Structure 1
Amino acid sequence: MVVAGGGTAGHIEPALALADAVMRLRPDARVVALGTERGLENKLVPARGYQLELIPPVPMPRKPSPDLLKLPLRVRESVKRTREVFERVGADVVVGFGGYVSLPAYLAARGRLPIVVHEANAKAGLANKVGAKFAERIAAAVPDSGLNDAEIIGIPLRHSITSLDRAALRAQARAHFGLDPNAPTLLVFGGSQGARSINNAVSGTAAVFAQAGIGVLHAHGPKNSLAVQSVSPPYVPVPYLDRMDLAYAAADAVLCRSGAMTVAEVSAVGLPAVFVPLPIGNGEQSLNAGPVVRAGGGILVPDEQLTPQWIAENVVPLVADRARLAAMSAATLGTGRREADEVLARIVLDVIKK
C-alpha cells in the first residue's frame, strides 16, 4: 500500500493511522509513504517505522504567476518519478489524503493501480477532487464535502488516541508535564507550528488563570518563544507536544485551531473545546468545528476576537465550571468516530482483493 498525504500533520497523521490499522489486520502487508523533502513527513513517517519515498513537490500557485506556466512540466516530472516508486516497491493500491503529494500520486496511478481517496476536511481540495474521478472507493470524514459517492467514515486516528483513557492517565500525564495534579487544566495549541495570535492572547491571561486556580499547558510552536512569569498553578509552555495522548489526558478543556485532524481527535477523547479557526483559506476550519459546536461540545471564536479580555471573560469561567465541562465532554464524545482507521483499512484491503 502506498499512502500519499505529505506536507502537514493533518494529511500525514490520517495516512499513518491507516497504515497502523492495515498492519494490525494484515501483518504481512508493506506500507510505503510518499513525501517531499520539505514536508513534515520527513520527521513523522520514519519515527513511526514506515518507508518514505520522496518525489518532487507540485505546489499549486494560488494566483496567476510565472510559476503557473511551469506547472505542467513540474507535474509531468513528479508523475514520472512517482510511477518509478510504484514500480520499485511493487504497489498494489494507492491511498491519497489530499495535499500536493496526492495529486501526482493520483495521476501516476490512473489506469495502472486502484485508487482510494480519503477527504478529511469539510470542503474537498483540488487534489482529492481530481483523485475522486479515478478512484475505486471514496471516503470522507463528514457529509457534503463535495465528493460524490463518498462513504462517511470519520478520520483515521492513532490507536493511542482512540484507546485513550484520560482519567486513568491523568496523574501520570500531569506529572510528565510538571502540572498541578489537582487544578483544572487548559491545554492550548495552534497546530504543529503554533499560532502567534493564540500565543499572545492566552499568555496575556496567565495571571488571571493563576488567580482562578487553573493550570495551563501551552504548546507555542518550535519557531516561537513564550515568556510567562512563574505562577501557581503552573503555566507550562512547551515548543511541541510529542505525546499528544498525555497532553489530552492532562487537560480538562482545550483551546486550539479547528483543523479536521484536531477536531476529530478532540471529539474522540471527549475534550470540551474552544475552537479558533485559522483566519485564512476557504473557511473550512469553521466548517470542521460546526458539528461539535452545534452538539454543545465546543465554542467557536473568530481569530480577531481572541484577546486576553475575551479569554478572561469566557474561557476562565468555563474551565473552572466542572459541571459545564462534564456536559460538554459528553456532547463532544457523541460526535467522535473512533473506528475510522479500521473501517478505511478494510475498504483498502477489499479494493486489493477485487
Structure 2
Amino acid sequence: MEYVGSDVCGFIGTTTEELCLRWQQMGAFHSFFRNHNTIGAPAQDPAVWPSVAAATKQANLFRYQYLPYLFSLHFVASQSGASVIRPVFFEFPTDAETFNLGYEFMWGPRMLVSPVIYQGTTSVNVYLPTDTWYSLFDYKYGSIISPGYTTVPAPTTSRIPVFVRGMSVIPRQTPSTTTTATRQNPFELLIAPCSMGKGLGTLYWDDGETIVNDFNSHDYHQFDFIYNTTSTGGLLTINHSKKSSKISLPTLDIIEIFNYPKAPNFRSFTINGKTVNINVQQSTYSGITKTLYISTQGLIDLTSSDSIVLQWSNVGSSVFEVPSVSGVDNGKMKALNTNRYEELYF
C-alpha cells in the first residue's frame, strides 16, 4: 500500500508529550501524515507542548524539503505499484539481519529512517546493511557512516536518524509554508555518491493538481540525473526524458555533493561547453567534511536542452589560477577565494 500512515500521537486514549513528539518525528516520513484523535479526547496538536511544536516543525521542514523526491516515489508507485515506505529487506533481500528489522524502514530506495520507539531514549541502535551510507540528520551530517550496527544520538531536539544511500541523486527544494509556495522555489540536488563516485536519480514533475487517468496522455516532465566524480573533477548529466509543453519549471540553483574528494575550481564550471559563473560567495567546499555546496541563482534552466552537462575541474596547483583583473590586487583575490574553504588539500 503506497498511501499509508497512522493517526499521529494516537487515536484512543490520552497521549504523552514524549510519545507525541516521537510520533510526529516519525510520521513526517509517512505518505499519509496527520495528527488525529477521537471526539472528546484531550487536545494533542503540536502546539499543546512547545517541545512537540519545535520537533514537528523541524520534521515537517525536512518532509517539505524532500517533497520532489516523495512525489517522484508516488509517481513511480502509480505507474508500477512499487512501494514508497518499504521494509529494509525489500532493498537488501540477501541480508538476513534485515528480515526482522521492524523498527527501521526505507523511504523509497534512497533513504533509511530509524525512528525512536522506546520511552526515555536519547539514542538509537541502527543497523545499516552493507553499502555506502551518509548521515542526513544532525549527527555528522554528510559524513559516511559505516555499515553494520552502530549507536547514534537521537535527542528530542534533533531530527531522528536518517541516512541516504550511496549512488543517489535526490531532488529537493527549500521548504515554504505551503506546498504551493514550495513548488515555486528553485530545485536543488543532493548527491550522495557510491564508493565509485557515481550517482543516479529521477525527478517526475506535473502541475500538482491534475488527476492522472492515463499516463500516456498525462502532462509531466521527467528528468534523469547521472553523476560521476572523475579523476580531475565532476560531471553531472541531466537528460530531459519526458517533456511537458505547458508546465513551467523553476531553475536548478543548488547542488550539494557528499564525499567530494578535492577542492573544485569554481572558475572552471561549464554547461554544455559554455562557461558559467558560479557565485563564490554562496558556494563552498569543506576539506574536513568533504562536502561541496554549489549555489548560484538561475544556475541551470532545465528546459534549455534535451541533455544538459554540467562539468568542472578541481584545483590543481598550490594557489588558485585566478586571471588578472584590472584594479584588483591578484594576491588579495587569491586570498579571498581560498577563504571559501575550511581546509585546503592542494
> Taking structure 1 as the reference length, what is the TM-score of the superposition?
0.25
| Bigger Rg over Cα | 2
* Larger RCO (CA within 8 A; separation ≥ 6): 1
> Taking structure 2 as the reference length, what is the TM-score of the superposition?
0.25
- Between structures 1 and 2, the one with greater strand share: 2
